[in-house]
Amino acid sequence: MTDQEILAAAAEAMTRFRATVSERPVAPQVDFEELLDGFGTTLPLDSSPPSAVLEELMHAADPGIMASVGPRYFGFVVGGALESATAADMLALGWDQMAFNATASPAAMAAEQVAGAWAKELVGIPATASVGFVTGAQEANTVGLAAARHHVLAARGWDVEQGGLQDAPRVRVLVGDERHSTIDRSLRLLGLGTGSTVPVRTDGNGAIDVGHLEEVLAAGDGPTIVCLQLGNVNTGACDDLERSCALAHEHGAWAHVDGAFGLWAAASPTLRHLTRGIEQADSWGCDVHKWLNVPYDGGLVFVSRPDVHIAATSMTASYLVGQGTGGSDLVLNASRRARGFAVWAAIRELGSKGLAELVDRNCALARRFADQLGDAGAEIGNDVMLNQVLAAFGDDATTDAVIDAVQRDGTCWMGGTTWRGRRYMRIAVSNHTTTEADVDRSVEAIVRCWRS
């Protein structure tokens, strides 16, 4: 390999990996210390040819690569990157665009603008909302809640961007007791603190109890933010946005929706009813690396009032005067990778029909898991409404032992979780390449591990 051939060689190695990933043991069987040694021990003194670096990297990394892009990885909520989106990200790297604004990269901004408009249309968010291309739902939640913080304090005559929170009116943040932990981290970083949260009860499947939300809203006053969710990370449960947003607005509160993966359910005509009222919210966060099957790391944040979004996150500097608002004004990065190309490519490849089919197919496969594991005697712990399944195999120790054995077996990979005080195997189906045969093969492996 010559140094000029290094990019093609990397692409070829990646192509080979992806073509055979379904036949690898899903979790690598590797000793971490050995893996470290493969990456070297001492700081290199002399330079090396790029091609040698590539070969050394591939050799060092291969034994420790998790086959999470393959069809039988069901851990966390992990999508398998689509071919077009992966190729688009490779181009984004090769073009090495600085996606700051249209002055720095007109193409990057144009792709974001079109992909952002498509995303809004796909899920039913008003076309007038602003869209930021962030790193994932964590950043999306932070930006959405920064906009919320700005708005509820501005309504009380307080400029939080200038005055901070030191002497600001106290903000209360209503959160479901099954919110994702990224919400708490966002609140910490925004200076609101987890102490600002007021918990709202959830129902058996983890969706917010709207009656209790109404009580909690009425029990206090002052600047208020309500955090809602589409797609609980354990159960897939979706909050009733229609009623929750209406209540929030009756009380002058801002409604933020964490739709990390569940937002995409709105793109499916058969599941859209779970997201009814989505257009009523004030801000929304989601991932693209989960259910949209775009490579890491990417997400979207939408804000119904672009002026509030910009007030919360824009930056100015003398060298930017006259350049207008750019993509970086809507996120927490200044210089950043051109994330819009991959999102554009994924939506362009799937089309609205293809995305609906992907979401529906993953949900049908999740129900297949639940049915087959239930038939085999496992206890299904959730109402399977999206792509998440919880399965218990007896007492907690047995369930943990089954999860451990399955992870070591290598046929498939799923993690564990604690739901309502009990241990469960947690199965998330989010990959466009997963088939019924993959589910059947995985169930067979799980049952085999359980029986032994």
Ligand X SMILES: *Cc1c(COP(=O)(O)O)cnc(C)c1O
Binding residues for ligand X, rule: CB under 6 A, are 77, 136-138, 180, 182, 229, 231, 233, 258, 260-261, 287, 299
Q: How far apart are CA 132 and CA 135, in angstroms?
A: 10
Q: How far is CA 107 from CA 305, 311, 340, in A?
A: 25, 25, 9
Rank residues 206 and 223 by Cβ distance to ligand X and give the closer one: 206
Which CB sits closer to ligand X, 303 or 445?
Answer: 303
CB of 26 to ligand X, least distance (A): 20
Q: Rounded distance, CA 223 to CA 225, Å?
A: 7
Residue 116 or residue 206: which is nearer to ligand X going by CB?
A: 206
Q: Decide the pairing of beta strands 388-392 and 224-229.
A: unpaired
Q: Which is nearer to ligand X, 223 or 299 (CB)?
A: 299
Nearest to 284 by CA among 111, 148, 154, 175: 148
What is d(CA 152, CA 253) in angstroms, rounded to the nearest whole number? Answer: 7
Q: Which is nearer to ligand X, 240 or 258 (CB)?
A: 258
Nearer to ligand X, 71 or 176 (CB): 176
Helices (H), 62-191: 83-95, 106-123, 137-154, 160-163, 181-189
- List the beta strands (DSSP E) in 33-98: none
Strand order in the sheet with 299-303: 130-134, 299-303, 283-287, 254-258, 224-229, 172-176, 197-200
Residue listed under structure tokens 């990297």: 57
> Is residue 189 classed exposed, middle or buried when 0-12, 13-18 and 19+ CB atoms within 10 A define those classes?
middle
> In whole angstroms, how close is the CB of 73 to ligand X at the nearest point?
15
Give the DSSP H or E segment for 134. Answer: strand 130-134
Minimum gap (Å) between residue 418 Cβ and ligand X: 16
Q: How far is the CB of 335 from ligand X (least distance, A)?
A: 20
**Residue whose CB is less far from ligand X, 136 or 327:** 136
State the minimum distance, in angstroms, from the CB of residue 320 to ligand X. 28
What is the nearest approach in angstroms of ligand X to the Cβ of residue 52?
Answer: 35
Least distance between ligand X and beta carbon 233 (Å) = 4
Report, in Å, the least distance between residue 2 CB and ligand X: 38
**Choice between 153 and 187, CB closer to ligand X:** 187
Q: Which residue is nearest to ligand X (CB)?
A: 136
Residue 113 and residue 344 in contact, taking contact as beta carbons nearer than 8 Å:
no
